[in-house]
Amino acid sequence: MRELGEFFDKVVVVTGGASGIGEGIVKAFSKEGAKVIFADVDKDKGVKTEVVSKEESNHQDVYFVETNLAMEKEINQFSDFILDKFGRVDVLVNNVGVNKKSGTLTDVEIDVFEEVFKINALSSLTITKQLLPLMLKNKGGAIINISSTMSVGTKNDLAYSASKGYINTMTKSLALDYATDKIRVNAIAPGVIDTPAIQPWMQQEKNPAGSKGIPMGEIGKTEDIANAAIFLASQKAAYITGQILTVDGGLTVGE
Ligand SMILES: NC(=O)c1ccc[n+]([C@@H]2O[C@H](COP(=O)([O-])OP(=O)(O)OC[C@H]3O[C@@H](n4cnc5c(N)ncnc54)[C@H](O)[C@@H]3O)[C@@H](O)[C@H]2O)c1
C-alpha cells in the first residue's frame, strides 16, 4: 500500500539516481508514495535500485531510464519518456555529478573541463529547460540542485568546484525568474557523504571524519541528503527559494 502523505502520486524526477546520493533520494521519495523516474548511465545499478525501491516502498511506480546525461540526444529521450508517460513533473532533483580530480588549470586539459561541465552543469540546465514547461503548466513545482561545499572554490580541483559554483548561481537565478510561477528552486551543498564516489578514499583512511575535521565526528549518510531534499520539496519549505542548504556535519561552520 502506497504512503498517503504529501507526495502521494506526485511525479518526482531524479538524475544520477542509480547509486549514492541519487539512490538515497529515489528511495526516500518512493517511500513517501511518489512516482519516481530516474536517469542513470549505469544499467546494472539502475535496475537494482528500481527493484529495491519498489520493494521498500511497497508500490510499483519507480522507473529507471538508462540515460547518458552527457549526451543531449539521450537527455531528450529521457524528457520525452516523462512527457509521454506522466505529462507532469512536481519535483526535479538535479543530482548527477562527477569529480574527475581535475587539479589546477596548469595541470588539466580543457577536455576534462568540458566533460565535467557537460555532466555537472549543462545536463542540469538542459533537463530543467525541458521540464520547466510542465511545472509552468501545473502552476508550481520544486527544483532541487545538488551542489557541494566545494562550490565556494577549492585547491587543486578547479573544474569540479567551478561546475558546482555554476549550480549555485543557476539555483539563485532560476529562483528569481520563476518565483511568481510558484516554482521554488533550491540547492543542497553536501559535505562528505558516504557514497561509491568516495569509498575508495574512505577505505584508505583510518579515521575519515577526523582527517577532514568534521565537527560532528562522522561522515554523512545518503539519508541525510535525502531528508533535506524531502524537506525542500515539501510544503514545510513553501516560502523557501533560492537557498543553498549546507548539509555537512558542521564542516564549513568555521573555527
Ligand atoms: N559524496 C559526496 O561526498 C558528495 C559531496 C558533495 C557533493 N556531492 C554531489 O552529489 C551528487 C551525487 O554524488 P555521489 O557521491 O552520490 O556520486 P556517485 O558516483 O555515488 O553517484 C553518481 C551517479 O551518477 C551517475 N552518472 C555519472 N555520470 C553519468 C552520466 N553521464 N549520465 C548518467 N548518469 C551518470 C553514476 O552512474 C552514479 O549512479 C553529485 O552531484 C556530487 O557532485 C557528493
pLDDT, average across residues 213-234: 98
Angle in degrees, 0-180, between the axes of helices 43-57 and 20-31, rounded to the nearest 10: 30
Ligand 1 centroid–CA 21 distance in Å is: 7
**247 ligand 1 Cβ < 6 A:** no
Average pLDDT over all residues of the chain: 96
pTM for the structure as a whole: 0.98
Nearest CA residue ID for atom 25, ligand 1: 16
Q: What percent of the chain has pLDDT over 70?
A: 100
For 183-221, what is each residue's pLDDT tens digit? 999 999 999 999 999 999 999 999 999 999 999 999 999
Among 25, 40, 119, name the best residue to mutate to test ligand 1's pocket (greatest count of ligand atoms within 8 A of Cβ). 40
Residue 254, pLDDT score? 84
Q: Domains in the chain, ordered, with CATH? A: 11-247 (3.40.50.720)
Q: Model confidence over 3-30: pLDDT tens digits?
A: 778 999 999 999 999 999 999 999 999 9
Rounded to whole angstroms, how far apart are CA atoms 50 and 38? 9
- pLDDT tens digits for 46-77? 999 999 999 999 999 999 999 999 999 999 99
Provide mean pLDDT across the span 118-122: 97
